[in-house]
Structure 1
Amino acid sequence: MRAIAIDGFGGPEVLRPADLPRPVPGPGEVLVKVAYAGVNPADWKAREGRLAGFFDYRFPFVPGFDLSGTVEAVGSGVSDLAPGMKVFGMSNQGQGANGSYAEYCLADPALLAPLPASLDLVEASGLGVSGTTAYGGLVDVGVLQPGQCVLINGGAGGVGSLAIQIAAALGARVAATCSARNAEYVASLGAERQIDYANQDVTAAVRDWVEAGVDLVLDAVGLGTLLPNATALVKPGGSFVEIETLVSRASESEIAAAAAQGVRITSNMVGISRLSEHLAGLARLFEEGRIRPAVTTVMPLSEAAEAHRRVEAGHVRGKIVLQIADDA
């Protein structure tokens, strides 16, 4: 099968075309014929070896978490999915298996969901990681409640653009950081306050919006951009949720200092065992028409390296996805 693989860690240039054996599903596994693969920040971090703490690499290694496509075959014990069903979700890359930058890949049934009627394969291919990260971070880990005030850091990106919609759909008031050029876009998603991170003091802008501070921050940027101001942004009793695969993690002393002021700093990985619930909740919101897909840019599989460069540079609006199947 056609794939993009790496033989070792490095920059985008290590991504190469490969001809690899087609996987065979074992017990409890699903073989998906991939139509499109979403590109996430976690992909280039996986390419650089930064996710070695989460899974073991076996080379040649095929990157790619997100996917959409058709069930090709199922292993013994799989009953909810059958050959011919269109699905979206995530590959088994998180368990160290080859990912979705290939014509076929393996997935755990809990990481797949039937394609909602309101979505096509292009739109759905970028939802697995971003969607479950946003949904899990807000609803599960952040325990979002109607009427709360939420700040999404990085509102125009793949996670942020879905997080704004999820929070608004569930009855929260939403503010989001973004560049000036994306202010109108994040407003269209449901952010009542748009904060230009380049030209505004984010903490001051949040306090101007909600004097006491917000109930919840979902940090979809990481890199320590907001973490030092967590207790100034979040009111006592609130939460600051980090996305751990952004290689952003508060120290024990930072967590303790925030807790002393009544602010909980936590990782989205707290809810990783409930990914199937996050995927189901996300699919339900799409089925109900309460949220819509982020803006999607489609690139051919052969341009995977360029897709990585764009995502790694930041400032991508919505999602980039790779077309895998010629007939997709």
Structure 2
Amino acid sequence: MMRAIAIEGFGGPERLQPTDLPQPTPGPGEVLVKVAYAGVNPADWKAREGKLSRYFEYKFPFVLGFDLSGTVAAVGAGVEGVNPGDAVFGMSKQGQGENGAYAEYCLAWPAMLAPLPPAMSAAEAAGLPVAGVTAYGGLVDAGALKAGQTVLINGGAGGVGSLAIQIARAVGARVAVTCGARNADYVRALGAERAIDYANEDVVAAVRDWTSGAGVDLVLDAVGLDTLLPRATELVKSGGRFVEIETLISAASKEQVAAAAARGVTILSNMVAVMRQPEHLAGLAAMCAAGKVRAAPTEALPLADAAEAHRRVESGQVRGKIVLEVAAQ
């Protein structure tokens, strides 16, 4: 048996309860990871509330947690390139309806694991996978960002935004972000050229001023809630793209997509690139290993405080990442 935090049904943070569950055994093509830290993402509280039911089937008791760092405990038949004892970070199989990383052990696909980056702690690495893969896929794959282009990251101080700034700079792009005034110095230190105070500035006017009236080549919307979507064509130049993160509560209507297309702007979901997540994780890991991307500020809470971690992440006011300490190694 193993310790875990699980839910018996959908609902609020109070649904997260300690429990004992059988330790999983890796089947063919699977890896068993002894979890050191589990990352906490907005997708986690949405999964807790049942908002991700369209993507996978829940089997209760259900263990949440997409992100993990830890040590490979065992591998199933046919697994190559990953060996017991390897220090890794990556993603659990929660996205396929399997139990996630809020437990002492969980299963993962080998393609969704990468070596722990040098000079990065296991706690820091546990906050990278979902946010980093989302940022990398949204910018480099769905967004087709190139050196010399301009990008606006909506929500630059959060988990996705903090990594997206660095990934965009590593690609060679110029970066502007929206953030609260208190986070302006933080995002500039990560590489943002322009920090736009969304509470006190007109975002479109600020972007137009920054780009000499042209608009940006790409918007990556890491906030959702339709905060910028209605003004997509005012922000993005003809031939550019507006990438939504589908698991955020934001979705362009057919009419909005058509109207934008008529003005030469493509609105699309980051999910168009979801099948290439292993490539995105490998690209992220390479940038981390090269020192081009560093972990966001990371706060570790005990596994037993999973409900408190959810409350804080759900508030939308967390700078950087919160992770849960399962069994520090």
User: What TM-score does the superposition give when structure 2 sets the normalisation length?
Assistant: 0.98
Question: How far is 1:247 from its partner?
Answer: 2.9
Question: How far is 1:47 from its partner?
Answer: 0.2
Q: C-alpha distance in 1, partners of 2:304/2:199?
A: 34
Deviations 1:123-171 (A, max 9, x none): 1001110000001100011001000010000000000000001101111
Aligned residue number for residue 263 of structure 1: 265
Question: How far is 1:116 from its partner?
Answer: 1.8
Aligned residue number for residue 132 of structure 1: 133
Q: C-alpha distance in 2, partners of 1:182/1:116?
A: 26
Deviations 1:78-107 (A, max 9, x none): 011010001101000000000000000000
CA contact (8 A) 1:154 1:176 kept: yes
**1:99 and 2:107 equivalent?**
no
CA contact (8 A) 1:118 1:286 kept: no
Aligned residue number for residue 245 of structure 1: 247
Q: Which amino acid aligns with 1:185?
A: Y
Aligned residue number for residue 142 of structure 2: 141
Q: C-alpha distance in 1, partners of 2:265/2:50?
A: 32
Q: Calculate the aligned-residue CA RMSD, in Å.
A: 0.7
- What is the correspondence of 1:43-192 to structure 2 with a 5 Å cutoff? 43-192=44-193
Q: C-alpha distance in 2, partners of 1:74/1:285?
A: 27
Aligned residue number for residue 313 of structure 1: 315
Q: C-alpha distance in 1, partners of 2:119/2:290?
A: 9
CA contact (8 A) 1:296 1:319 kept: yes
Counterpart among 224, 232, 239 of residue 222 in structure 1: 224
Q: Which amino acid aligns with 1:189?
A: L
Deviations 1:154-201 (A, max 9, x none): 000000000001101111000000000000000000001000111111
Counterpart among 231, 234, 239 of residue 232 in structure 1: 234
Question: How far is 1:118 from its partner?
Answer: 2.8
Q: C-alpha distance in 2, partners of 1:254/1:18?
A: 46
Q: C-alpha distance in 2, partners of 1:117/1:125?
A: 14
User: What TM-score does the superposition give when structure 1 sets the normalisation length?
Assistant: 0.99
Q: Tell me the secondary structure at the aligned position of residue 245 of structure 1.
A: coil
CA contact (8 A) 1:32 1:107 kept: yes
Aligned-pair identity (%): 72
Aligned residue number for residue 5 of structure 2: 4
Counterpart among 274, 277, 281 of residue 276 in structure 2: 274
Aligned residue number for residue 302 of structure 2: 300
CA contact (8 A) 1:203 1:233 kept: yes
Deviations 1:54-76 (A, max 9, x none): 10000000000000000000111
Gaps of 5+ in 2: none
Q: C-alpha distance in 2, partners of 1:315/1:169?
A: 26
Q: C-alpha distance in 1, partners of 2:120/2:62?
A: 30
CA contact (8 A) 1:37 1:67 kept: yes
Q: Which amino acid aligns with 1:145?
A: K
Q: Tell me the secondary structure at the aligned position of residue 253 of structure 1.
A: helix
Aligned residue number for residue 212 of structure 1: 214
CA contact (8 A) 1:180 1:196 kept: yes
CA contact (8 A) 1:89 1:128 kept: yes
Q: Which amino acid aligns with 1:77?
A: G
